[in-house]
Amino acid sequence: MAYPKCPHPKCEARFFEVGEVLPDGRQDPVQVLQCSRCGAVLGVLENLAPVQRELAILRSLLEKPQ
């Protein structure tokens, strides 16, 4: 079985974590998958919190008795 490793040539760790970064020009942080040893970013994770808030609002509106 293949195991993922950090893409940084001097690190090559095999453990990862979810972190947050604040890109230039943005007000909201972005969640990323990063190496837990050196912090190299492997990818960006989609933030579903705004979508979940909107769904909760819609659900509450639909559940209101008329």
* pLDDT in the model for residue 63: 87
Query: Does residue 8 sit within a domain?
Result: no
What is the domain count for the chain? 1
Tokens standing for 66? 């008329």
pLDDT digits (tens, 9 = 90+) for 6-58: 999 999 899 999 999 998 988 888 899 999 999 999 999 887 778 888 899 99
Query: Is residue 43 a part of any domain in this protein?
Result: yes
Boundaries of domain holding 57: 16-63
Would you say the pTM of this structure is higher than 0.85? no
Report if residue 5 sits inside a domain: no
Gap between the Cα atoms of 18 and 23, Å rounded? 16
Q: Judge whether 29 lies within some domain.
A: yes
DSSP secondary structure letter of residue 33: E
Domain contains 54: yes
Tell me how many degrees the CA angle 28-29-34 measures, rounded to the nearest 5. 165
39 lies in a domain? yes
